[in-house]
Amino acid sequence: MGRLASFATLSAITTLFLLLSTVPCQAQLSPSFYDTTCPNALSTIRTSIRQAVSRERRMAASLIRLHFHDCFVQGCDASILLDETPTIQSEKTAFPNVNSARGYEVVEAAKLEVERICPGVVSCADILTLAARDASVAVGGPSWSVKLGRRDSTTASRSLANSDLPGPSSSLDALISGFGNKGLSARDMVALSGAHTIGQAQCFLFRDRIYSNGTDIDAGFASTRRRQCPQNSGDANLAPLDLVTPNSFDNNYFKNLMQRKGLLQSDQVLFSGGSTDSIVSEYSRTPQTFASDFANAMIKMGEIELLTGQNGIIRRVCSAIN
């Protein structure tokens, strides 16, 4: 009987170990992950990002978007930073990213600074996650605590980038579904869309909307935007996503939506008689709620499908496998 009991206990322990080994890896993350192995990592990254944003304020929006486009494709693993090779189909050349995603060199510069003080310790995935937070702060947006310990992928997926990233013409249902597939709620989606309070978009992404003569766009706003976005040329011409305060992280984006002045169709669908109208209205009235929800949604997004522990690698440069 004693032997049977011992066997049962051993089986239970083995089962528990197997169960624990499948627990999501977020539990291994910690804000203090580098405190002993690279104590100056966070301040070094912060300085590097602040300098980049001070050189070009638009870079704040680009870094937040780069992090978003990374996390939505096989998780927050810095796969978006990998260049094309015979064995890697780079996400940089996927339709949502090509000639659009920017800030790669800023992340690489921050990585170079960190490598100088702590070679082979800090992942590119963590640097990109911290860069998004530091970029938000640099333009007056919220701050949040970033749990660290992500590792870098050895693969990328152009096909997933093409299928999983939302587009400028996405419907509300498609947005809710796409974010839901990543574990993010409709409220998270609206809050994260508020990152469009900064940054710019290319003419070809909003041309159909401003020439639609639709009931969901303010006529004066459409007319203003047409001046820099002709019907048959100027595809790469830029327009601010928030015409009022394009370089400040605030809640004007939501006020714009309520006035039918969303630049992208995927912006305006958030306030178009659908289920998210009340959230947009709330954020337009209470900037503190938006800032808090944005920070919480960024934390959630930054913990999608992570590589930790012995999974993945620590890249020496962010654009290539060691």
Q: What is the DSSP string of 35-73?
A: TTT-TTHHHHHHHHHHHHHHH-TTHHHHHHHHHHHHHTT
Tell me the CB-side half-sphere exposure of residue 172, using CA atoms within 13 A: 14
83 is in an annotated binding site: no
Helix (H), strand (E) at residue 277: helix 277-285
- Catalytically annotated residues: 69
Helix (H), strand (E) at residue 291: helix 287-301
What does the block give as tokens for 157? 């997926």
235 is in an annotated binding site: no
Q: What are the residues whose beta carbons fall under 8 Å from the beta carbon of 163, sequence distance 6 or more?
A: none
Distance CA 206, CA 264 (A): 5
218 is in an annotated binding site: no
Q: What are the residues whose beta carbons fall under 8 Å from the beta carbon of 86, sequence distance 6 or more?
A: none
180 is in an annotated binding site: no
196 is in an annotated binding site: yes
242 is in an annotated binding site: yes
75 is in an annotated binding site: yes
216 is in an annotated binding site: no
250 is in an annotated binding site: yes
85 is in an annotated binding site: no
Tell me which residue of 230, 275, 280, 246 sits closest to 260, measured CA to CA: 280
Binding site listing for Ca(2+): 70, 73, 75, 77, 79, 91, 197, 242, 245, 250
Binding site listing: 70, 73, 75, 77, 79, 91, 166, 196-197, 242, 245, 250
Binding site listing for heme b: 196
Binding site listing for substrate: 166
